[in-house]
Structure 1
Amino acid sequence: MSANGEKGTVAHGAADVPPAGRNEFGWNFFDASGQRQMAIQGPGHRKFGNPGPLGLLSFASTTLILSFVNVQARHVTEANIVVGMALGVGGLAQLLAGMWEFAAGNTFGATAFSSYGGFWLSFATIFIPGSGVLDAFAKTPDDFNNALGFFLMAWFIFTFIMLLASLRSNLGLVFLFFFLDLTFMFLMIGAFLPTNVNITKAGGGLGIVTAAIAYYVGASELIPREAGYFTLPVYQLPRRD
């Protein structure tokens, strides 16, 4: 109501000017002069969700599919089936989870999810027709195996660093990075020794174990104590004072 009692008008400076401030959704509808606005207020009116389960479960699902191929489950030997999963789930979903971990202030989670998201995107690129990667090694398959070994070696080293960084987090993450590092090691050796298929199969078996652990840790974060009927313990490790 305005000072003259008419609806729909605003008397600037009058006592009935709607006060500035946020409603229950965090929006500010009026400024101090009574002008309507729709400006989202800064962070603080709503907490960030936990991006951890998205990153862990996306990693687990993509790793499981590739590991089935590596152990030649049901005689499947071509890794191209994982390309779509690696792009959309292991790659994009994990990358997004990593960016939100940065926003939440978790450097460890941000580094892990963003990096392994990049791993899946780069791995998928190898098998995408037209990327030129496989075409470049069409006449020298031995060179491709060695190059793939170099690729996996870099991720073996990176994962070992992540394993060291996880030692004061929880046992779930420690086991996850330990078995993931073993997976990369066996796959790396299998790439350098392509005639010994059992080494790659061993890497695939370790990958299945890694995926199972990632599913467990992801589920433990998705079902917190206050939201579920049960919890999945990951056994927090003591931190340095």
Structure 2
Amino acid sequence: MAVVEETRATPAAALPVADPAPLGLAAFALTTFMLSGHNANFIPDLMWVGLALFYGGLVQLLAGQWEFRNQNTFGSTAFSTYGGFWLSLGIFVILAETTKLGGTLSGKNDLANGLAWFLLSFAIFNFYMLLWSSRINLAVFGVFLTLQITEVLLAIGFWVAAHRGVAPTGAEVGFIRAGGWAGIVTAAVAWYASAALVLAAMNNGRAILPVGKALWTGDRFSFGQRRRLGQAHPAR
């Protein structure tokens, strides 16, 4: 009688993958810079729309999905959400500029009012992500802090524009222009964080550009993730 040996299948070891966080931060930074430059009134309008769809939108969304592969709950949530932010905003602007939707909304001041509520909704999301980013490092915390200021200023600016019945441009509403400059600072901080992570990855995880320590290191709460956003892969 043949003897059948019982064997247990062992799961294949996961292959190492690159950290998608620098890509996600870079996509967010460049798109934010272009839109913020328009809000600050020195970059022409609509220059940012293509970037919103493909770089800040699609590429950042992909970075979020790759963070799922790395079991990074914070990074996957942040990048996927803001990828959706840029895709939604870009498509909305295209519809408003090329269809009857634009004329309908502009006549009722709904365009500015709708953008204000859009920004406020993301500011609510950004607020709790700002709190949890204090457990990562100072650079990532700085991105969410400056972004919080940007979103609040822009939301107020669009509400003011809707109330006054004026076009929501940085030249006519001071809050929008201020939000534009705050967004430029946000982009600069995000670019710095991206550059720091790229350089660290090229040096086997050793930090070259300082990103600062976590502001909150308590273990009372857990993100349910194996690796935090901004933490380079260990040397292999």
In the alignment of these two chains, the number of paired residues is: 197
CA distance in 1, matches of 2:33, 2:51: 11
Instruction: Report if aligned partners of 1:191, 1:200 keep a CA contact under 8 Å in 2.
Output: yes
| Structure 2 gap ranges (5+) | 1-9, 167-171, 220-236
Tell me how far 1:133 sits from its aligned partner: 4.2
Correspondence for 1:179 = 146
Tell me how far 1:81 sits from its aligned partner: 1.7
Correspondence for 2:123 = 156
Are residues 122 and 240 of structure 1, via their aligned partners in 2, closer, same or farther at CA, if it must alter by over 3 Å?
same
CA distance in 2, matches of 1:65, 1:230: 29
The answer to whether residue 56 in structure 2 is matched with residue 90 in structure 1 is yes
The answer to whether residue 63 in structure 2 is matched with residue 63 in structure 1 is no
Tell me how far 1:138 sits from its aligned partner: 3.9
Instruction: Report if aligned partners of 1:125, 1:131 keep a CA contact under 8 Å in 2.
Output: no
The answer to whether residue 105 in structure 2 is matched with residue 137 in structure 1 is yes
Code of the residue aligned with 2:218 in structure 1: it is R
| Structure 1 gap ranges (5+) | 1-40
Tell me how far 1:173 sits from its aligned partner: 1.0
Q: Specify which structure has the higher proportion of helix.
A: 2
Q: Which has the higher contact order (CA 8 A, sep 6+)?
A: 2
Tell me how far 1:240 sits from its aligned partner: 2.0
Code of the residue aligned with 2:112 in structure 1: it is N
Tell me how far 1:135 sits from its aligned partner: 4.3
Q: What do you get for the CA RMSD once the two structures are aligned?
A: 2.2
TM-score, structure 1 length as denominator?
A: 0.76
| Local SS of the residue matching 1:179 | helix
Correspondence for 2:173 = 197
Code of the residue aligned with 2:192 in structure 1: it is Y
Tell me how far 1:126 sits from its aligned partner: 1.3
Correspondence for 1:115 = 81
Code of the residue aligned with 2:23 in structure 1: it is L
Instruction: Report if aligned partners of 2:53, 2:90 keep a CA contact under 8 Å in 1.
Output: yes
Are residues 158 and 233 of structure 1, via their aligned partners in 2, closer, same or farther at CA, if it must alter by over 3 Å?
same
Tell me how far 1:46 sits from its aligned partner: 2.5
Correspondence for 1:221 = 197
Instruction: Report if aligned partners of 2:196, 2:207 keep a CA contact under 8 Å in 1.
Output: no
Tell me how far 1:230 sits from its aligned partner: 7.6
Correspondence for 2:136 = 169
Correspondence for 2:210 = 233
Are residues 52 and 192 of structure 1, via their aligned partners in 2, closer, same or farther at CA, if it must alter by over 3 Å?
same
Tell me how far 1:113 sits from its aligned partner: 0.1
Instruction: Report if aligned partners of 1:95, 1:117 keep a CA contact under 8 Å in 2.
Output: yes
Are residues 93 and 225 of structure 1, via their aligned partners in 2, closer, same or farther at CA, if it must alter by over 3 Å?
closer
- Per-residue CA deviations over 1:1-39 (Å, capped at 9, x if unaligned) read xxxxxxxxxxxxxxxxxxxxxxxxxxxxxxxxxxxxxxx
CA distance in 2, matches of 1:84, 1:110: 23
TM-score, structure 2 length as denominator?
A: 0.77
CA distance in 1, matches of 2:66, 2:202: 22
CA distance in 1, matches of 2:203, 2:99: 45
- Per-residue CA deviations over 1:155-199 (Å, capped at 9, x if unaligned) read 111111110111111011111101100000000000001255111
1:50 to 19, 31, 35: 19
The answer to whether residue 185 in structure 2 is matched with residue 209 in structure 1 is yes
- Per-residue CA deviations over 1:183-234 (Å, capped at 9, x if unaligned) read 0000000000125511100000000000000000011111117628981111
Higher CA-based Rg:
1
CA distance in 2, matches of 1:179, 1:165: 15
